[in-house]
């Protein structure tokens, strides 16, 4: 064999090896960096179960194309309440979750359904209602006291009642207030997502709890609805990305789910999150938190 033939053979072997790689991504969680990915992963389809707020706000419309461009994966987002997203994870119907129900997330992880859980971002919840404010809650520092006033005045309150992260927090506030709203004539349950619930509250001249991002994206259609309560510490809205445990299910796209989780805490994704909404609303809709601890958020 000539030297020229030897090097040609060596080149062909190297080329075959590169093409055989599946393009899985391994990132450095300590720095949040995302290395260049090899395109054409062996299983390109990733199922993401996520909260409606990330979809309704438009954030996923920016993040997912960037992830797909960098990695070659194709993401199918399924926007439901956080409780439903975790139920999908418990059935092995999603590869990765993006949710905002911390108490339920801890139970999900403790039960062995999740493999890895990373802090991604936060914003906050607010209480919105008619600018006529029949329950006179505007200016209350405590959201618990505000809920008591809504109940005492029998003002309309509209609940998602869908086992979402928003609904989970709402229930926690009612519990602290000592009020049992379910079954009361003034308490309406939609069983729908955040945007739909906000619209019902506007139609019924009622109050509701919402994440700030979804309210801001719908604000132009809500001329008679104002932010009445904000800033209470209990209203912090924290998002985590969770990979579903591959030891539970054989059909998961493990590499794809991990690649998406790694992307969400990468420098690129965190930069996108930090700027999302600035041009349209004059403020970012989310605060990036990769690499932080919950104690850094005051919890």
Tell me the residue length of the chain: 299
Neighbours of 260 (CB within 10 A): 28
Is 94 in contact with 256 (CB distance < 8 Å)?
no
CATH code of 33-123+237-291, in short, is 3.40.190.10
Angle between helices 165-177 and 143-152 (to 10 degrees): 70
Phi then psi for residue 37, to 5 deg, are -100, 150
Is 288 in contact with 273 (CB distance < 8 Å)?
yes
- Which of 91, 97, 237 has its CA nearest to residue 165? 237
Digits of tens for pLDDT over the chain (299 positions)?
555 555 445 455 555 555 454 443 333 443 444 444 456 899 999 999 999 889 989 999 999 999 999 999 999 999 998 999 999 999 999 999 999 999 999 999 999 999 999 999 999 999 999 999 999 999 899 999 999 999 999 999 999 999 898 999 999 999 999 999 999 999 999 999 999 999 999 999 999 999 999 999 999 999 999 999 999 999 999 999 999 999 999 999 999 999 999 999 999 999 999 999 999 989 999 999 999 998 898 87
Instruction: Cite the residue boundaries of each domain of the chain with CATH code 3.40.190.10.
Output: 33-123+237-291, 124-235
Q: Which CATH class is domain 124-235?
A: alpha beta
| Contacts of residue 86, Cβ cutoff 8 Å, sequence gap at least 6 | 49, 97, 99, 101, 104, 105, 108, 113
Neighbours of 296 (CB within 10 A): 10
Strand partners, 197: none
Whole-angstrom distance, CA of residue 130 vs CA of residue 12: 70
Greatest pairwise CA separation for the chain in angstroms: 93
């Amino acid at each position: 064999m000539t030297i020229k033939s030897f090097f040609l053979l060596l080149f062909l072997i190297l080329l075959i090896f590169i093409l055989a790689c599946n393009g899985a991504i391994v990132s450095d969680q300590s720095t949040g960096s995302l290395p260049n990915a090899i395109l054409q992963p062996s299983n390109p389809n990733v199922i993401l179960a996520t909260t409606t707020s990330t979809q309704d706000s438009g954030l996923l419309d920016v993040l997912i194309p960037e992830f797909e461009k960098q990695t070659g994966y194709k993401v199918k987002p399924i926007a439901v309440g956080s409780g439903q997203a975790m139920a999908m994870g418990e059935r092995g119907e999603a590869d990765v979750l993006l949710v905002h129900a911390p108490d339920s997330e801890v139970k999900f992880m403790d039960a062995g359904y999740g493999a890895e859980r990373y802090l991604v971002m936060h914003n906050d919840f607010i209480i919105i209602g008619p600018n006529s404010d029949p329950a006179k809650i505007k200016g209350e520092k405590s959201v618990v006291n505000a809920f008591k006033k809504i109940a005492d005045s029998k003002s309309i309150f509209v609940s998602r009642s869908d086992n979402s992260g928003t609904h989970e927090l709402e229930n926690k506030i009612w519990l602290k207030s000592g009020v049992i709203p379910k079954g009361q004539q003034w308490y309406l349950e939609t069983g729908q997502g955040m945007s739909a619930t906000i619209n019902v509250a506007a139609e019924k001249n009622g109050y509701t709890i919402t994440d700030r991002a979804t309210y801001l994206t719908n604000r132009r259609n809500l001329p008679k609805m104002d932010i009445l309560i904000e800033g209470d510490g209990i209203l912090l809205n924290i998002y985590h990305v969770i990979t579903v445990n591959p030891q539970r299910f054989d059909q998961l796209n493990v590499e794809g789910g991990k690649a998406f989780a790694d992307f969400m805490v990468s420098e690129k994704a965190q930069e996108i999150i930090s700027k999302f909404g600035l041009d349209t609303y004059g403020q970012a809709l989310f605060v990036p938190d990769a690499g932080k601890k919950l104690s850094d958020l005051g919890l």
